Chain A
Amino acid sequence: MSIPIPGIKDISKLKFFYGFKYLWNPKVHDKIFDKLDLTKTYTNPKELKVLDLYPGVGVQSAMFYNRYSPQQYSMIERRSSLYKFLQANFEDSPLQILKRDPYDWSTYSNLIDKERVFVPEVQPSDHINDSFLTVANVTGEGSEGLIMQWLSCIGNKNWLYRFGKMKMLLWMPSTTARKLLARPSMRSRSKCSVVREAFTDTKLIAISDGDELKGFDSKCLEEWDPIVFSAADIWPTKGKPIALVEMNPTNFDFDVENWDYVTRHLMILKRTPLNIVMDSLGHGGQLYFNSRITDKELLKKCPIDLTNDEFIYITKLFTEWPFKPDILMDFVDMNQTEHSG
């Protein structure tokens, strides 16, 4: 028996979406699932456990379940109006609804370690975890930070990534997708695209139609061949376009802390060639790196043109720098409170 899928009529009655947007059109969802071809990874869906963060109205959740019937499908949703909606629609379904806050780290430690409500299997990092999948919708304009934090969790191998290379299907604003997916020399290339490149293998799966599409490189679009759906397939209709990406963690081996410092600082002046920009890494950086980097072509490049491998190379030189600055003290403290009676 399949779970009934909420229709747009019911969905449109909902008022509060907290800035998040959801694809409601089941037809597009079908196309997406076809494209994702998840059974290739999850050869035995019966053993699959799915964590659905911010499921919203649950259209995707229900359709997922109907398609694959995983062992466990848990939805984490705390926002009251949406939680009520989920309850009303899926109370008696096999979908598990948990009223927790996906933003809060403790949600996961409680669920996994304390209450053991959702316990994924730890798998080695030579392959994508084939019994654990996370689906999330972080389409809120103000919630981009959460995505970035999750990304850095891949680098730290903590949070859900302690269970191995877990695949994540992630809805996000199209602009965020554009930034994340940008490749060297592209306009949107920024630190977070380097992070994406360093830790994951990410593909654009689907994206709503609109101006934002123009920001993507045409070659890349050709490569990913995403499903382009109409902006009308999203609810609420107002707001900016959204996109779905598939994120697969990759293996990496470098000094993350120093790499973080190096990329962060270099990407500030991303159009300044390396032979000049290195001074912003610390006292006398230019002199040091100009003597260490033997490849004169590399020195002519700008940070925006660098691949992650090149960043790793620079990081290596950075760690070998005898006078390298203290990377821990890389912050400012805004005026703390003083003055009293």
Chain B
Amino acid sequence: MLRPVYRSVVKTSVLQKRLLSSKGSKLYKPSPDSTSTLIINDDPLVAASSSSSSSPSGIINSNDFPLFNKSNKNTTNNLSYQWKNASNMEFDPFNKSHASAITSMTRTRDVMQLWSLLEACLQSNLMKRAFSILESLYLTPEHKQRFIEDYNMYLDAFSKNEPNFPIIKMNEKLTNDLETSFKDINYNDKTLAIMIHHALNLHPTASSMLLSPTISAYLKMSVNGIRDILSNLDILTISDLSILVNDLKVISLSQLPTSVKPILESLAPSSTLVNNIENENGFNKTAAEKDLNIEKKLEFGRDSIRTPSLDPLREASLDGSMGVLPKDAEKLVAVDTIGMRVIRHTLLGLSLNAQQREQISKFKFDANDNVLNMKPTENGEESNTSINFFEIYNSLPTLEEKRAFESALNVFNQDRQKVLENRATEAARERWKHDFEEAKARGDISIEKNLNAKLWKWYNDMLPLIKEEISHCKSLLSEKSVNKRALNKVDSNRLGYGPYLTLIDPGKMCVITILELLKLNSTGGVIEGMRTARAVISVGKAIEMEFRSEQILKSESQTFRDVNKKSPEFKKLVQNAKSVFRSSQIEQSKILWPQTIRAKIGSVLISMLIHIAKVSVQGIDPITKAKVHGEAPAFAHGYQYHNGSKLGVLKIHKTLIRQLNGERLIASVQPQLLPMLVEPKPWVNWRSGGYHYTQSTLLRTKDSPEQVAYLKAASENGDIGPVYDGLNVLGNTPWTVNRNVFDVVSQVWNNGEGFLDIPCAQEEMVLPPAPPRNSDPSILRTWKLQVKTIANKFSSDRSNRCDTNYKLEIARAFLGEKLYFPHNLDFRGRAYPLSPHFNHLGNDMSRGLLIFWHGKKLGSSGLKWLKIHLSNLFGFDKICLEDRIAFTESHLKDIKDSAEHPLTGERWWTTADKPWQALATCFELNKVLKMDNPEEFVSHQPIHQDGTCNGLQHYAALGGDVEGATQVNLVPNDKPQDVYAHVAKLVQKRLEIAAEKGDENAKILKDKITRKVVKQTVMTNVYGVTYVGATFQIAKQLSPIFDDRKESLDFSKYLTKHVFGAIRELFHSAHLIQDWLGESAKRISKSIRLDVDEKSFKNGNKPDFMSSVIWTTPLGLPIVQPYREESKKQVETNLQTVFISDPFAVNPVNARRQKTGLPPNFIHSLDASHMLLSAAECGKRGLDFASVHDSYWTHASDVDTMNVVLRDQFIKLHEVDLVMRLKEEFTQRYKSYVKIGKLKRATDLAQKIINIRKDLSKKLGRNTTLADEIYFEKKRQELLNSPLLEDKSIGEKMITTVSLFQDVKDLDTLELENGGDENSGMSVLLPLRLPEIPPKGNFDVRVLKDSQYFFS
């Protein structure tokens, strides 16, 4: 590999600094040779490694990464490992393994907090404080390597803050900072980029003559080459680059980063614009407004003058920085932008009917005005404001036209997506205002009645409060000397959250707070309200999220602000460059707000809202019985008890709740997390993918830095490409809303009645009358329980309805749109859509509402699969395919009726297992059946192929279990096997035998065993359900048969034993593997890593076990089981203290959960791998693909192809002995770990250990502990690994209680398994050994190739 030319920064820096700091014009005339002498080639790695603190415990051990060898294309076929060395010696907060480094963990936390604070201070122009934070960061030794990045952040902010600071002074400052304040810190190319940018943007009156040499000087100082300087697009704007290339001509085009090169190429020198006006005026504007201006400029050219606005919104805003759409913008958007005119032109050029034509010509192709259909439809204005793109797309006759349409739509949607992710709060605010003004025109009463009008009132009341708070914070923060003692509690709190609060536009914060609280209504088990803890954190998170996307948008528009060309081709270029830019920005941001800050911010905002939000209420005076009207706070903070524990709650007033129930809730859906209108950003990196402006991580880590550390290392090693591939296929599947189904759901919904799983709308709950107070306590108690049950039902119904409302509203908003679901993974690798509420993983209704955007002709086999699909949805999925087809064909009449009269007809579809999806299928089938040639029918319906007990399929393949494999359809068969029925049969047989022997229970139960009784238990058995749990499941199934609950439970207990027995018998080898996994997990989680800090061994002989179970999936994804003891702390906020966990705390593992979790998690990691492999392959073959874990979806015509892929990939996955590989990985990873075990006392080895202990005891003057032994063994290991030969030889001679085991081969004979005589065993440290793998059976997974019922 070619290494870029490094220059030893250590040696050059001082000289360079001296050069820069030299006074006068000399600086601007650097002689070429003087700079070149500064370049000293030296191996930077030597310097880096010697300066790093290289604590081995602080960094992931190289042993930690057994990854698959990528050299062989068929990864699964290769058993050899490539032990990659994650020799990342830099300090990085995530790069810590939990097993070690307790101290650096706390430092990590400190650094994280300092970072977030630094960022906040820089944003708020608190330069002094920022500098002192820098000083603290500088003192963290592990952080030195990265410190320059923080300094760059500071310098950049400084430059923006003082745009007219002469470059000489700037240079002096830089020199001074790096030479005195932060010794040993060297600038990097970004530092230079900042200086260049500063120089370029100085007021033009500055001696521009000298500009060129200055810049040349900086360019020559480059550490990694000029290219590297220029790649800092977050610093150097396009116009900067343009000047450098075209005006100063100090660089050539070829040196530019590839993503922007084409833009600059197309910018002719003459048309380059450097907008200095913007520079002068625009500093205190928020990103949004800047962006808005950019947008406008992009569209109308720079001549469009911003007219001063009298809009009250603007007046109200703090320093005029409200990022709202100016009123005059509406006028402006009415005029077509050129780019959009082109889109319209394109669209009108397609084959459209008259109506479509009219729609398009009326339609305003402006992203700001037409984000989504969120406006009420009652006014019937729908036809004007929205276009059903799906219909148009479908009506286009040729593929070319479709392509052209999609391409035009995509350009439009790119803009809409941007607006969607960035302008949602403004949109909400606009809506409120609009409604308010309308209501106002009608009178005060209608203001009260209209929710949005009320929200607008709250907004206006809250805004000044926030502003006041912010100005408090600002004045407090800008005080010269902060006398901490003189501060009251409120102010010292402000000092903490103040820097963050000042970051975001106050108006936005209002909107976010209000929306979050409305969204959280009836969550957390609270009857009419929410948990305070959740509320404050949600608001805090939402604020942070807003800030993040604002940041990205801001830097993006900063960089591209002067790009001003109107051709659509150019626009595409810019869009492309921007997305590359965003990606790298998101990638770079590592800063997260601490949880405590989120909570504090949230509480401040919420308490303001509580203070001002009022609703008018009426009650009855208990004395006079007269109706009383009044005003009450809409939100109230209080507490409720649960099992004696207090729970902070935020109650919402009944009046408001009633209003919310009748409301369309679309507004409060977190807009950043809606489905996307364009393809998600592809996953290329562990934290870059999905939404365009919202950061999401590849893995849903449970606040576990350990998981992140492994993921990051794998990502940086480039090991998880296949994961990205699969995930990107999932994300790139376009969907649309099934209008037919939507209309039916909508009708049902508006009806307000209960329908299928939609509960009916209920106003009040009906409670049984209370018994007299002096009734027996037991009677009082049953009544209380009744009330509780009813209330629970009521509130769960309501939240259910609310959830349905969300789904429906999102669906409505996306009617006729092309939509995408960005995905990420849970910690085992299973994929989930990022957007909540409405997605294809949702309930039956959500799934029924979704169809593929692309249609495919049924072709020869499509109709067959469509029919089978319907049969499956009705629950007939365990009969052979022909019978399923026959089922559908025998119901053609019902299908027709269901499709044509879904609600008024026989409603046959409602009898299906999955009625809404069945209805969707009926609609298609009905259309197909009317066609002369069904093969020509264009189908959009996803067809599902489900694995029969997917977990058991994997187990069977792992164990090579022929019997089990047969049961789960791994073996070709002319008829699908029904596991559940089979288990039921086995249980039945057992019962019959028992009954013959005179077993009473068996006699009663033997004829009551159905498939249904055992189904859940068989399923959950894979997840390691316990005897007790299974008993409950079975009791639930049996309860209709027996009247007495007690009796039913007794029978269930009995039955459970037999069911368990039957399952064990049937899937014997699966259970052996399950046991093996469990035992391995137990041993690992009870093992000790030697280089662990002795502190965790403080309890003498009882250490805290720190090692969690870690493995790598066949796709290379490292999986860390995050189960640890949680440590939570109380954090003070404005409202109350909240109880939150500290993510950087180092906690011992929860061995139990590690143990019970491994079997299911391992299997899930395999099925996830299978899914991703299949997805990638299907993607390659041009299939539209979606998945719900073990259910795979595609077009009817492609089902056969997909099935082939599924089987191939499954075989590919299991051709390797995965269990063996897992064991090898474990053995390698936990190589030098020890466990506490018992050794037979009557052995030589034991005697030797006793002698060592005696010696040691003498030396120490006390009894030895295992901790001491660990200490010495650790010492020995350190010596052995020492580079010094003498150390090494000392180490080799050293004998410890652990080293004695090195050469022992027959440990089994020496170790006492549990039990044994009391005196024969003694506690010693034994090397960790894993149990033997159960023998593999004879099943050859390759026979699967011909099993048609594998997935069906």
Contact = CB atoms under 8 A, between A and B. Distances in A.
A56 to B, nearest CB: 24
Interface in A75-112: 105-106, 109
A256 interface: yes
A14 B516 CA distance: 60
B621 interface: yes
B1145 interface: no
B638 A157 contact: no
Interface residues of A, number: 39
Contacts of B646: 268
B419 interface: no
Contact of A268 (B633, B639, B651, B1016): B639
Nearest to B1136: A269
Contact of B619 (A153, A156, A157, A323): A323
Nearest to A145: B644
Chain B CB within 10 A, most for which of A105, A264, A332: A332
B1316 interface: no
Interface size class of B (residues with CB under 8 A): 35 or more
A331 B773 contact: no
Contacts of B767: 328
B524 A282 contact: no
Given A157-B774, A159-B777, A322 B791 contact: no
Nearest to B610: A279
Given A268-B639, A331-B641, A333-B795, A158 B524 contact: no
A332 B622 contact: no
Interface string B507-533: 000000000000000001111100000
B788 A341 contact: no
Contact of B773 (A158, A322, A328): A158
Contact of A158 (B620, B776, B791): B776
Interface in A141-192: 149, 153, 156-159, 162
A280 B639 contact: yes
A333 B525 contact: yes
A332 B636 contact: no
Nearest to B647: A332
A320 B525 contact: no
B630 A283 contact: no
A106 B637 contact: no
Nearest to A256: B773
Contacts of B638: 265, 279-282
A149 B781 CA distance: 11
A322 B796 contact: no
Interface in A263-279: 264-265, 268, 279
Contacts of B775: 158
Contact of A341 (B628, B773, B1019): B1019
A328 B787 contact: yes
B973 interface: no
B773 A333 contact: no
Contact of B778 (A105, A281, A324): A105
B637 A280 contact: yes
B649 interface: yes
B10 interface: no
A297 interface: no
Interface string A198-231: 0000000000000000000000000000000000
A319 interface: yes
Interface in A311-340: 319-325, 328-336, 340
A120 to B, nearest CB: 15
B486 interface: no
B266 interface: no
Contact of A332 (B525, B621, B634, B653): B525
B788 A331 contact: yes
A74 to B, nearest CB: 19
Contacts of A334: 525, 642
A279 B617 contact: no
A331 B628 contact: no
B1015 interface: yes
A284 B653 CA distance: 10
B617 A158 contact: no
Contacts of B642: 331-332, 334
A336 B799 CA distance: 13
Contacts of B1019: 341
Contacts of B620: 322
Nearest to A162: B774
Instruction: Pick from A283, A331, A341 the residue with the most CB of B within 10 Å.
Output: A283
Given A283-B632, A336-B796, A341-B1019, A320 B622 contact: yes
A319 B622 CA distance: 7
B653 A283 contact: yes
Given A156-B774, A158-B775, A323-B617, A332 B628 contact: no
A285 B631 CA distance: 12
B454 to A, nearest CB: 15
A333 B788 contact: yes
Contacts of B623: 320
B774 A332 contact: no
A335 B525 CA distance: 7
A227 to B, nearest CB: 32
Nearest to B652: A283
Contacts of A264: 641
A341 B1015 contact: yes
A283 B618 CA distance: 12
A279 B637 contact: yes
Contacts of B80: none
Nearest to B646: A268
Contacts of A268: 639, 646
B776 A284 contact: no
A153 B776 CA distance: 9
A90 B1176 CA distance: 81
Most buried by B among A149, A322, A324, A328: A322
B792 interface: yes
A336 B792 contact: yes
Interface in B993-1037: 1015-1016, 1019
B640 interface: yes
B1033 to A, nearest CB: 9
Interface string B769-792: 000011111101100000110011
B1141 to A, nearest CB: 19
Contacts of A332: 524-527, 640, 642, 647, 649
Contact of A279 (B636, B773, B788, B795): B636
Contacts of B619: 322-324
Contacts of A109: 776, 778
A285 B633 CA distance: 9
B1138 to A, nearest CB: 15
Contacts of B774: 156-158, 162
Nearest to B773: A156
B788 A156 contact: no
A105 B525 contact: no
A230 B622 CA distance: 55
A311 to B, nearest CB: 17
B873 to A, nearest CB: 16
Nearest to B636: A283
A64 to B, nearest CB: 26
Nearest to A336: B792
Given A328-B767, A333-B791, A341-B1019, A158 B641 contact: no
A149 B778 CA distance: 11
Given A280-B639, A333-B525, A341-B1015, A105 B777 contact: yes
A57 to B, nearest CB: 28
A69 B1283 CA distance: 89
Nearest to A326: B654
Contacts of A321: 622
Contacts of A284: 630-633, 636
Top 3 A-B residue pairs of the complex, sorted by shortest distance between their CB atoms: A322-B619, A284-B632, A105-B778
8 contacts: A153-B777, A283-B617, A283-B651, A322-B622, A323-B628, A331-B527, A334-B642, A336-B792
Given A322-B620, A322-B630, A323-B617, 4 more contacts: A323-B619, A328-B767, A333-B525, A336-B792
